């Protein structure tokens, strides 16, 4: 009997100890799963982006073919000859070349970047009201990223062409 009462006391103590245990608090806001909505639809942006980038890519392909078949002169020289040849008869030639090689790729970059980038600012904790966290999330969508890189390549090629032409004219 004595043995049993001792055992009961131990059990009671154990239960009391368990009841008084401090459970670690879970802070629901910090564990909230945030829905990261992009501004534009990724598939729609990719579909339009292909059309925006296909025109400058075709033009650069023509430049490459011209350069490859003639081989004399430079890549940018071929670009200049094709620009005057392909677009010369157009009355809006002065605007068409920059629009095709700069404006269209930049629009492509913007719509595709808006489709995969999510920007968010939030307070780190309620105690530190001035400290804010700025987070940028990029969705890994292959087609959107490829289109952005292609557009960047086209814009940089055109900038290279403009700089080379200006330098050669000044000299």
Partner 1 sequence: MIMKLNWFVRKGLFYRPVTIMGWIILAAAVVFAVYTFIDINNTSHSVSDVLINFVFNLLIIGLFYTLIAYVSEKKPARVE
Contact pick of 75, 80, 86, 162 for partner 1 (by CB under 8 A): 86
Closest CA to 60 of 87, 35, 78, 41: 78
- Please say which residue, 91 or 126, places its beta carbon nearer to partner 1: 91
Q: Least separation, in Å, of the C-beta of 112 and partner 1? A: 13
Contact pick of 37, 136, 142, 167 for partner 1 (by CB under 8 A): 37
Q: Which stretch binds partner 1 (CB under 8 A): 14-22, 51-59, 73-81, 145-153?
A: 51-59
Q: Least separation, in Å, of the C-beta of 36 and partner 1? A: 8
Q: What are phi and psi of 20, to 5 degrees?
A: -85, 0
Angle of helix 104-116 relative to helix 142-170, nearest 10 degrees, comes to 150
- Please say which residue, 13 or 94, places its beta carbon nearer to partner 1: 94
User: Sign of torsion, CA 34 39 41 42?
Assistant: negative
Contact pick of 9, 13, 39, 51 for partner 1 (by CB under 8 A): 51
Neighbours of 98 (CB within 10 A): 12
Rg of the Cα atoms in the chain: 32
Tokens of 114: 């808006």
152 forms part of the interface with partner 1 (CB under 8 A): no
1 forms part of the interface with partner 1 (CB under 8 A): no
Tokens of 99: 């629009």
Q: Site residues (CB under 8 A) for partner 1?
A: 35-38, 41, 43-44, 47-48, 50-52, 54-55, 58-59, 62, 86, 89, 104
């Amino acid at each position: 009997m004595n043995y049993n009462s001792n055992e009961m006391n131990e059990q009671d103590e154990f239960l009391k100890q368990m009841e008084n245990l401090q459970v670690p608090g879970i802070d629901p806001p910090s564990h909230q799963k945030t829905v990261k909505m992009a501004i534009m639809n990724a598939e729609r942006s990719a579909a339009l982006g292909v059309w925006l980038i296909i025109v400058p890519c075709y033009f650069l392909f023509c430049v490459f073919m011209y350069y490859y078949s003639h081989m004399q002169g430079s890549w940018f020289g071929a670009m200049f000859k094709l620009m005057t040849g392909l677009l010369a008869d157009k009355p809006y030639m002065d605007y068409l070349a920059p629009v095709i090689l700069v404006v269209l790729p930049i629009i492509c970059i913007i719509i595709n970047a808006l489709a995969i980038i999510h920007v968010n600012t939030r307070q780190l904790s309620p105690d530190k009201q001035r400290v804010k966290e700025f987070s940028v999330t990029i969705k890994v969508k292959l087609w959107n990223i490829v289109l952005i890189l292609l557009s960047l390549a086209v814009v940089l090629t055109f900038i290279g062409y403009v700089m080379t032409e200006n330098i050669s004219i000044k000299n």
